[in-house]
Amino acid sequence: MRFGRVSWGLVALALTAGCAAAPAKGAPEPVRLTIGGKTVLDGQLLQARAEEELSFTLNFGYVARTGTTPVDCWFARVDQQTEVDTRLWCGPVQVPGTATTADWVPVPLKETGQEEAGVRFEVQPPQVPENGTRSEPVGKLVRADGRETDPDKKTAETSEAGPDFLAVLPDDGKVGNEQLVLSAAPDLKVRDDMLGATATGWGSPDSFPNGDNLLKPGPGLRLRVLRMKVERLLSTDPAFDRMPWQGYTPQPSELALELPGRRQQLPADRLPEEGGVYVVYTVPVDSQGPEALALNTIGTKSLEQRVELPSGKPATDIPAVLRRGGTPASTPDLKQGIEVGGRSGELKVLGVRLGRQRPVKVSGEYQVATASAPDKALLELRISAKGDGFPETIGGDKTKDLLKVTLPDGSTAPQVGIRYDGGPFPVAVVVEVPADVKSAVLTTISGDVTLPIVGRTSVKPTGAPVTVPLDF
């Protein structure tokens, strides 16, 4: 205890000496800062405590250090006089999933008391932005000692990526892998029926182009770059545009990196509906753990898939159909002559899709059907039935049983569901097939149906069944 008292005495002496000393030449003078027109007391202490709070945020990887500039907390001016924002702004940092420009974390201030000299505040927990979301100071930055800076200058493209750094950047495809020191990764791909990602490059370069700078890893870190093509099928597939849905509408699937000691989700709004991205991140130089790309299907039939980086080797059990292509490069011209109510026309295949889940219409509402087993798949055939004089009535739910899909072994694929709107036939038929199926035969069978308004109507084929190739 004696040693402790002596130590505090030395500290007090040092502080007294410091206070007595004249300010260094050119040092900024303390300034009056106000909130609500009242002087903020102990501004420097508030800054220090906010920086302490932010250090926990950094250590837990909620944000990453960026560049070589220290992470400081600043007041933000809201007018040309003394008034400042009710939050301190701490940075520069990088919120995982954003671009490589620096971000700022707001730290709210809570009033704890007023006295004649002004108002006292205490800092609250940092308001860390969601992954992929940027937040910027409301005005010019100022420290309690009078130093000022423009946040726009501090948010310039960073040149150093710190621990837990993760940036998702657009790729216009104009720069080759060779220029970026990336290699091909032909087997690195993952997909479900809402989202698909296929790697077009992979590497651990010494640096990566970043505006006018080069982005380099910080001390003890290695840079990783995953280049990939992404398609957000929930946005691009018109089958998901239907309404209304039974219960909740389908939820977007989520892409994430599984890295040693952390998981980092790729923000959906940083991914294009269809296009290329660079995923740039850091790992420790001595990291020995596996790295993986994960895809989570959300919903009652949820599924988590993980594939190793960069080999693409599955790290989880993945349904067989999701390890093959979902659609052909182009749909062949497939059609069968049919007759409806004595009028001639044709049934044409407009599109083909293989997957684990497909939207179907049941009792006027849409829902997502799922394959019954990992070795099964759902085959969707989008069709159009047209003919001069065909009935103009909604009859897809009546004629669905006249559409038959036959498998190579001669068995009939069980019908899982359909989608229909204003015509006499469904616009899509969904059947369950083996996941490794290579072809299927679609045919119309003869029969009579009762259509709304029209009444009893005969349907029969007039042409040969169509063979649908599924070797994609």
Domain boundaries, the chain: 28-158, 171-197+221-318, 334-469
User: Which element (helix H / strand E) includes 4?
Assistant: helix 2-20
pLDDT at 219: 93
- Distance separating alpha carbons of residues 206 and 224, to the nearest angstrom: 9
User: Which element (helix H / strand E) includes 15?
Assistant: helix 2-20
pLDDT at 158: 60
Contact 197/227 with Cβ under 8 angstroms? no
Distances, alpha carbon 243 to alpha carbons 153, 211, 239, 246, 419, in Å: 47, 43, 10, 9, 11
- Distance separating alpha carbons of residues 165 and 293, to the nearest angstrom: 16
Residue 293: both structure tokens together: 């790309």
Q: Name the residue type at position 69.
A: T
pLDDT at 159: 78
pLDDT at 157: 52
pLDDT digit string (tens) for the chain, length 472 residues: 333 333 323 223 233 333 333 344 444 558 999 999 999 999 999 999 999 999 988 888 889 888 667 889 999 999 989 999 999 999 889 888 887 778 899 999 999 999 999 999 999 999 998 888 888 898 899 999 999 988 776 555 567 898 999 999 999 999 999 999 999 999 999 999 999 999 999 999 999 998 778 899 999 999 999 999 999 999 999 999 889 999 889 999 999 999 998 999 999 989 999 999 999 999 999 988 899 999 999 988 999 999 999 999 999 999 999 999 999 998 889 999 999 999 999 999 999 999 999 999 999 999 999 999 999 999 999 999 999 999 999 999 999 999 999 999 999 999 999 999 889 999 999 999 999 999 999 999 999 999 999 999 999 999 999 999 999 9
pLDDT at 288: 84
**φ and ψ at residue 77, rounded to 5 degrees:** -70, 140
Contact 197/278 with Cβ under 8 angstroms? no
Contact 458/338 with Cβ under 8 angstroms? no
Distance of CA 134 to the CA centre of its chain: 15
Distances, alpha carbon 300 to alpha carbons 42, 62, 370, in Å: 53, 29, 10
- Distance separating alpha carbons of residues 229 and 200, to the nearest angstrom: 7
- Distance separating alpha carbons of residues 196 and 272, to the nearest angstrom: 11
Tell me how crowded residue 332 is: count the other CB atoms within 10 A of its CB: 11
- Distance separating alpha carbons of residues 385 and 197, to the nearest angstrom: 34
Would you state the torsion angle of the CA atoms of residues 277, 321, 333, 243, taken in this order, to the nearest 10 degrees? -70
Would you state the torsion angle of the CA atoms of residues 179, 180, 185, 186, taken in this order, to the nearest 10 degrees? -40
